[in-house]
Amino acid sequence: MIFEEYGCDIDKLQQKDNENYQKKYSKEKVPIYSDVLKGPKDISMYLTKRKPTEWIIDSFGANGACVILAGDKGSGKTSFLYRLAESISKGEKFLSELFTVKKKVLIWQADESKVNALNKLKRMDINEGIDIVFKDYGWSQLNIKKLREQIEINNYGVVLIDSISTLVANRGVNFKDMEIAKPLYELNNLAGELNILIVITSHLNKEDRESINLNDLLGSGQISSAVSDIWSIFKPQKSKFEDHYIIQCLGKRNCDDSIFWNLKGNQEDFSWEFMSVGEDDLLPSQKIEYRFQILKLLNENKEGLSLKEISSKLSCSFKTAQRCTAILLDQNEIGRKKRSSYGGRPYFLYFQILLGH
């Protein structure tokens, strides 16, 4: 349509204007992928990517876990942490019983002053091979972002924090508040994302006790669900020997709540000696030996064995067979298949993973 008074074709002008509008405002369509928001997926897709449990300190701390070591003031938890760091940094046995995987270690010392910490390390003859930061030099508050950066830059495999109580308190958070769980969840998530081990010390809420349970943790209602595993260290009211200390697993995901270790401390160099275990426990070295025997048994019995058969052939308790096979299963060293008992409770047959069933 041409309007002479304007001297132009209105239809062509409108068409051109429409084209310019489309060029100006139209956007390239981005394809929508199902994993952008990590929507629902079948469990199998996650299990195929699951990593087997890798113990950095046998029975005590695994990769991808945040572990609490809770104790009273003067219970030896800091020297225990330092000796732990020493063993991991060298890849040596801890307490002469626990195998370790050699990793680069960072100690974050927020409880003791730099002077006190260095004096203790000097007495312990720990002189090199471990990185450390102090609260006196900009590390007085828990900063997950800064910690992540240091882990990634320096390739730390283990981070030992002494103590979470101080770092969180410096942020104005009370252990009785629900907010205390948030930084612990963040530390646990950080350990999982980076596949490292984080051990943090904390405090107990009273000192006159015969035994320790989760309710004895300072802020237990908030923190117990935020971490992977919880351990306690304390002096028993009735000591069996001089400088008697007890290390006890309070449970959660990786450590077995039957673990109860009697240790002997040494004030001369703050060293630790493994003395014995509780009535319902075995020495860590004995558990490892049983695991080797189970692997050998399953290699010899291609059709698989039940827990009753394993305990019978090894002349060990059913509970020992159960605990040892559970560890091997978590480490992807063995597999199992459920079998019907013809009217009774189903049972599992265990077999070597390479054999399949």
Domains of the chain, each with CATH number or no CATH: 55-281 (3.40.50.300), 285-352 (1.10.10.10)
What type of residue is 246?
A: I
* Cα–Cα separations (whole angstroms), residue 91 to 57, 94, 97, 283: 10, 9, 13, 20
What is the pLDDT, as a whole number, of residue 23?
57
| Segment (H or E) for 154 | helix 144-154
Which of the residues in the chain have pLDDT under 70?
A: 1-38, 169-178, 206-210, 218-222, 354-357
What is the Cα–Cα distance from 238 to 241, expressed in whole angstroms?
9
Token pair 């930084």 is at which residue?
183
Q: Is 123 helix (H, G, I), strand (E, B) or coil?
A: helix
Beta carbons of 161 and 131 less than 8 angstroms apart: no
Enter the tokens of residue 233: 């260290």
Give pTM, 2 decimals. Answer: 0.82
Quote the distance between the C-alpha of residue 185 and its chain's center: 11
What is the pLDDT, as a whole number, of residue 14?
56
What is the pLDDT, as a whole number, of residue 182?
84
What is the Cα–Cα distance from 240 to 264, expressed in whole angstroms?
10
What is the pLDDT, as a whole number, of residue 93?
96
What is the pLDDT, as a whole number, of residue 82?
97
Give 234's DSSP letter. E
Nearest to 158 by CA among 88, 59, 224, 208: 88
H helix runs in 243-348, sequence order: 284-300, 307-314, 318-330
Indicate the pairing of strand 197-203 with strand 158-162: parallel
What is the pLDDT, as a whole number, of residue 192?
94
